């Protein structure tokens, strides 16, 4: 399936294939644009109702949490190198169009 014309056509269960030169294996092969869940470790935000000493302790301990988010990736069908395009929450038509323009530069 060709790349979507707009983000409205892009669904997490669809895979979009196109020809691109891989930066790892240096061959011109089919690549896939798809989404996948990834685990991200992020800092836990501080509560405003906590004392300065408690905030300093939490900062020193660097409390973090692991959250899952959906990310748009491009993958080479030969070597399976995976490059992140954008977080799905921020994947806009503008980002998709910039990516399509970068494909034209590869030719």
Q: What is the pTM of this model?
A: 0.63
Report the pLDDT value the prediction gives residue 39, as an integer from 0 to 100.
92
Q: DSSP characters for 51-97?
A: -HHHHHHHHHHT-EEEEEEEEEEEEETTT--EEEEEEGGG--HHHHH
- The pLDDT of residue 25 is 84
Each domain of the chain, given as residue ranges in start order, spans: 7-37+68-106
Tens-place pLDDT, residues 42-89? 877 666 676 777 766 666 666 778 889 888 888 888 888 888 888 888
Span 14-39, pLDDT tens digits: 667 778 888 788 878 778 888 888 89
CB 38 within 8 A of CB 68: yes
CATH number of 7-37+68-106: 2.20.25
């Amino acid at each position: 399936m060709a790349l979507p014309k707009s983000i409205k056509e892009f669904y997490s269960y669809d895979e979009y294939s196109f020809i691109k030169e891989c930066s790892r294996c240096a061959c011109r092969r089919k690549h896939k644009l798809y989404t996948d869940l990834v685990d991200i470790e992020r800092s836990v935000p501080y509560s405003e109702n906590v004392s300065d000493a408690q905030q300093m302790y939490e900062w020193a301990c660097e409390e973090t949490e692991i959250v899952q988010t959906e990310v748009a990736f491009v993958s080479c069908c030969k070597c399976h190198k995976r490059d992140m395009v954008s977080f799905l929450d921020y994947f806009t038509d503008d980002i998709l169009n910039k990516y399509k323009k970068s494909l034209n530069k590869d030719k």
